């Protein structure tokens, strides 16, 4: 071997490896998804996501403050209504006194100046059928009626203090409709985080426990087919044309090729969501001693960043931020 054939020189010490690292992972790049549930006196554990809970308003405030202190870049909030408050159109989703909007006000009051408060702008947690929209007479999801409900949700969430609205329902035209609705009432500064490439994944299972989903069946008529790749670029281009401020790929680890495609083409920041099933798999394997937990978590987050994500939503955001600090 010649003197030019030894790339291991730059791997010899931690300091050298740190100096030449191509991908950074910093607390500010992480977003913590959180769940706030109505009717709880204390936080409730989510069995399939050890370490993650449904929060009360009080515990939500405390956990959010802890995340901000750790340097986490943002918080994405999901609401969990009482079962008796669900109906066919998810009425409580746009009610100012609904649990999600109360949670957003609590976050805005507690940490709003120190972090980015994000809201899940979707109906699935709030409908008695568990779909992400309003059902038509034939039982399918009515795209345009659902989009109208998203606009109503968006206005309530913006009023409650959300900085970014997570348009996650995968209805055609949702981003443009929300943008027009916000602008019409002077909410031109409220941003839209578009779930541009959201796939119908088997890895969402634990999330459905987390939000108490009422879903029967699946969402394959509106979420993307895992077999398709080019389709995600079309979805990206539509969302950009409609005014998306940030775009997202979900899930992350099974769709790193999609993430790279989107990152290569996007003119706005790109996010990726390390979803509940990804969290659960790493957690379960680590609990059994099969993998090193901290190493696997950091490696998975680095992989998502390396594939092109500017922002990573992860249930490990606060813990990983402490490690990185």
Q: Active-site residues: which are they?
A: 198, 250
Angstrom distances, CA of residue 265 to CA of 234, 247, 260: 11, 11, 9
Task: Centre a 10 Å sphere on the Cβ of residue 28 and count the other Cβ atoms it contains.
Answer: 14
> Based on the number of CB atoms within 10 Å of its own CB, is 69 exposed (0-12), middle (13-18) or buried (19 or more)?
middle
> Based on the number of CB atoms within 10 Å of its own CB, is 21 exposed (0-12), middle (13-18) or buried (19 or more)?
exposed
């Amino acid at each position: 071997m010649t003197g030019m054939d030894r790339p291991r020189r730059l791997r010899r010490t931690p300091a050298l490896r740190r100096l030449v690292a191509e991908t950074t992972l910093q607390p500010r790049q992480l977003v913590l998804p959180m769940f706030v549930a109505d009717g709880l006196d204390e936080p409730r554990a989510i069995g399939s996501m050890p370490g993650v809970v449904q929060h009360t308003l009080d515990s939500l405030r405390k956990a959010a403050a802890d995340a901000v202190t750790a340097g986490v870049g943002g918080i994405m909030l999901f609401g969990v209504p009482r079962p008796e408050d669900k109906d066919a159109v998810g009425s409580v989703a746009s009610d100012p006194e609904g649990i999600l909007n109360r949670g957003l006000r609590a976050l805005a009051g507690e940490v709003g100046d120190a972090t980015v408060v994000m809201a899940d702008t979707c109906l699935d947690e709030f409908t008695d059928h568990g779909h992400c929209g309003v059902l038509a007479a034939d039982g399918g999801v009515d795209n345009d009626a659902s989009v109208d409900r998203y606009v109503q949700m968006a206005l309530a969430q913006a009023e409650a203090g959300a900085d970014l609205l997570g348009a996650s329902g995968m209805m055609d035209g949702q981003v443009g409709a929300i943008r027009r609705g916000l602008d019409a009432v002077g909410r031109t500064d409220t941003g839209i985080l578009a779930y541009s490439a959201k796939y119908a994944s088997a890895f969402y299972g634990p999330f459905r426990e987390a939000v108490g989903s009422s879903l029967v069946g699946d969402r394959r008529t509106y979420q993307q087919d895992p077999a398709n790749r080019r389709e995600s670029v079309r979805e990206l281009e539509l969302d950009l044309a409609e005014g998306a401020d940030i775009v997202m790929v979900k899930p992350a680890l099974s769709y790193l090729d999609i993430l790279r495609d989107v990152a290569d083409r996007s003119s706005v920041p790109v996010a990726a969501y390390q979803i509940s099933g990804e969290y659960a798999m790493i957690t379960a394997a680590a609990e059994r001693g099969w993998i090193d937990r901290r190493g696997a978590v950091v490696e998975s987050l680095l992989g998502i960043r390396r594939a092109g994500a500017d922002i990573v939503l992860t249930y490990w955001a606060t813990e990983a931020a402490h490690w990185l600090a």
